Amino acid sequence: MPNQSPLHFSLRQLSSALHTKKISSVELTQMYLERIAVHNSTLNVYITTNAEMSLAQARHADARLAKNNSHALPVISNLTGIPIAQKDIFCAKDWRTTCGSKMLENFIAPYDAHVIQQFNEAGAVNLGKTNMDEFAMGSSNETSYFGAVKNPWNHDVVPGGSSGGSAAAVAARLCAAATGTDTGGSIRQPAALCGISGIKPTYGVVSRYGMIAFASSLDQAGPMARSAEDLALMLNTMAGFDERDSTSLQRPPENYLRDIDAKQSSSSQPLSGLRIGLPQEFFADGLSDDVAQAVAAAIVEYQKLGATVVNISLPNSKLSIPVYYVIAPAEASSNLSRFDGVRYGYRAKEYSDLTDMYQKSRAQGFGAEVKRRIMIGTYVLSHGYYDAYYVQAQKIRRLIAQDFDHAFKQCDVIMGPTTPSTAFKLGEKGDDPVQMYLSDIYTIAVNLAGLPGMSIPAGFGKNKLPIGLQIIGNYFSEAQMLNVAHCYQQATDWHVRIPPNIINDRGL
């Protein structure tokens, strides 16, 4: 291990250290809690931490690890004892679960989301709930009721959104790994802007049960970590059928480390035969020169690893943003109708009657971006506009999926930029929603088609901020994608770069 601080260990290295008793889960958890105490006031990464609950889980994990030698139950896993940050969109029993909103500012979840349940059964430690755009609506983490998250690479720029808190936590070494959700790029975009790895699985691979809904046909949970190998370990725990989620896919269990762990030949070209598709639409106007150069350099590296390049076209991808901003708000307007001040969540203090309570509670409880999307969604679903907007958007959505079907007959994976530029300054796009929406121009089509997509670090821009390479696969090709990313990360070191001044001599 080149650096002996656990802060730099991969998940496998941490697991080995815990199993061999070189460090305890309590010690590791306490280390992260101390770092959070030092850095969170600056970065605003966590909305909620609870040292008592986290350390109780760590003690339980240590007890499970101690029983390992006697083969006593419960069975331990690769994540037993490892501190994981959870995006504050997942309900976790007895934890405050806010979804980055005033509406749920004081909501204590009475049950665990499926994802949280999976980590609990694996013996992982819940380190805290990370900051996010309000109800996952945003691309910069500036819409959070709890304030903007700062990018660890430069505190004057955004970390991306909506999973910006999770991305910044991983980059700043304030957790070993984290969970995120991706509705139109909200795992991949912040992963790119914070210089970490993140994957959105095929729609339905990870259960949405207990994940507070934004747009139900688009939302998908996924892991965020430093490397593709770490993502595979996380996804092994997160994925799986859940009968409580009607969109959860019933498939045989899959080992996402399969291709990574397969015996690699001694060849210097481990990806020989891989066909990489480059969509011409991803390299047109709007892409900054430094991002284009970094992506081009990454493609050259892949060619050295044995891959070949195929030029492809996704002609309807240019329509993905208008389609998304019809479908997603429509679904959001329906999902958020439950927040009415009656059963749970924020209720206005003064009102004259039931209707007034509804109006004031929602007016005061929702932020500007959430209100904007509710109004758009209600409009496109209203009589006289449903056929003109919503139905047409669904038709184009099918055309976008068909473009990908055609492309994957010519290539194995698709690559391109994750974002059109590096991280922009805080407040820079706050007054121009359309410019903010364009931040997701390369990611949204993947959600509309239900495909898996990921982002991995691929260099730095002229402003010394991270750049992400996006990898898109066909349905259920996550194991292949993770291996494709892993081979690149074995040949480069972008994924191990650390933000400057993030760790001092005492490891804090």
- Positions marked catalytic: 87, 162, 186
- The angle at the Cα of 486, spanning 482 to 491, to the nearest 5 degrees, equals 155
Q: Is there a contact between 123 and 81 (Cβ–Cβ < 8 Å)?
A: yes
| Ordered DSSP codes for 190-213 | HHHHHT-EEEEPSTTSS--TTBPP
> In angstroms, rounded to a whole number, what is the distance separating the alpha carbons of residues 463 and 134?
28
Q: Which long-range contacts (CB under 8 A, 24 or more apart) does 367-371 make?
A: 367/101, 367/102, 367/134, 367/143, 367/145, 368/143, 369/133, 369/134, 369/137, 369/138, 369/143, 369/433, 370/101, 370/134, 370/135, 370/137, 370/143, 370/332, 370/336
Proportion of the chain in helix, strand, coil states, percent, rounded to 5? 40, 15, 45
Tokens of 157: 């720029």
> In angstroms, rounded to a whole number, what is the distance separating the alpha carbons of residues 444 and 449?
9
> In angstroms, rounded to a whole number, what is the distance separating the alpha carbons of residues 175 and 457?
18
Residue 366 CA, chain-centre distance (Å), reads: 23
Side chain identity at 270, as an amino acid letter?
A: P
Q: Is there a contact between 381 and 118 (Cβ–Cβ < 8 Å)?
A: no
Q: Is there a contact between 115 and 206 (Cβ–Cβ < 8 Å)?
A: yes
Q: Is there a contact between 505 and 5 (Cβ–Cβ < 8 Å)?
A: no
> In angstroms, rounded to a whole number, what is the distance separating the alpha carbons of residues 145 and 481?
35
In this structure, what is the dihedral angle of CA atoms 43, 48, 53, 58, given to the nearest 10 degrees? -30
Closest CA to 307 of 271, 360, 266: 271
Beta bridge partners of 184: none
Please give the order of strands across the beta sheet that includes 308-312.
46-48, 125-130, 83-87, 177-181, 221-225, 197-200, 453-460, 466-473, 413-417, 275-279, 308-312
Q: Give, in order, the Cα–Cα distances in Å from 280 to each of 221, 287, 295, 448.
A: 29, 12, 13, 19
